[in-house]
Amino acid sequence: MRTFLIIYALLIFAVVSIAGFRGSKTRNTPIEIFPDMDHQAKFHPQGANTLFRDGRDDRPKPEFTVARGTKLNQKEVFSEDFEDATIGDRPLLEGRNDDGSFYDGFPFDPSYELIELGRQRYDIHCTVCHGAVGDGAGITRNYGIAATSYHSDRIRDMPDGEIYDIIVNGKGTMFGLGHNLDLRERWAIVLYVRALQRSQLADKSDLPSAKLSELGL
């Protein structure tokens, strides 16, 4: 009984001392058992600074700085007659028509070079989950992420703009990858996804005769 009372008293003491003073304010410096990184030399927004001649913490942007990820040409952006031709181009920027429905088409001239760019970016950004041929058998499958296969009628019939939108904003459990890709790269991936879909439906008649004899068909 005595031991129990002692333990009980200690418990009450512990609860009161840990929880009891939470939320109360004090002007005294708190006891810091683990200071972590609470105190460090740093710049504050709109703070004063003796190091710089203008006395400000905020540093003005160096000339020719462009926000990350836009891949805009720095020299062009700062020239007086710069005009961003893509502004307002919803199909190109969002993969949507002006009425909000998905745009079905390709805003660049498709070329082999663009497919190659798509293949390269696809291998970097999509293969891990969707697999090299887009059948959903990426390495992440072993860890429980089942990415959709592109080889179903539903995805084959999907407007190009919808695939573009999925790349940029993600869908369901897939996160968007727009921040890693510029406009051309995103559309190049759409093109490559189409090429993958076509590759899985190809038959003998798609091959040039030289290839056919090479394969002994």
Residues found near ligand HEC in the complex (CB under 6 A): 125-126, 128-130, 140, 145, 147-148, 155, 163, 166-167, 171-174, 177, 189, 193
Shortest approach of ligand HEC to residue 152 CB, angstroms? 9
Distance separating the N- and C-terminal Cα atoms of the chain: 92
Shortest approach of ligand HEC to residue 88 CB, angstroms? 25
Shortest approach of ligand HEC to residue 192 CB, angstroms? 8
Residues 195 and 110: beta-carbon distance below 8 Å: no
Nearer to ligand HEC, 39 or 154 (CB): 154
Q: Which residue sits closest to ligand HEC, CB atoms considered?
A: 172
Nearer to ligand HEC, 92 or 190 (CB): 190
Q: What's the rounded Cα separation, in Å, for the pair 185 and 191?
A: 10
Half-sphere exposure of 148 (CA within 13 A, CB side): 16
Nearer to ligand HEC, 43 or 175 (CB): 175
64 backbone dihedrals φ, ψ, rounded to 5°:
65, 20
Work out whether the CA dihedral 140, 146, 151, 155 comes out positive or negative. Answer: negative
Four-point Cα dihedral 171, 172, 175, 181, nearest 10: -10
Shortest approach of ligand HEC to residue 102 CB, angstroms? 11
Nearer to ligand HEC, 77 or 141 (CB): 141
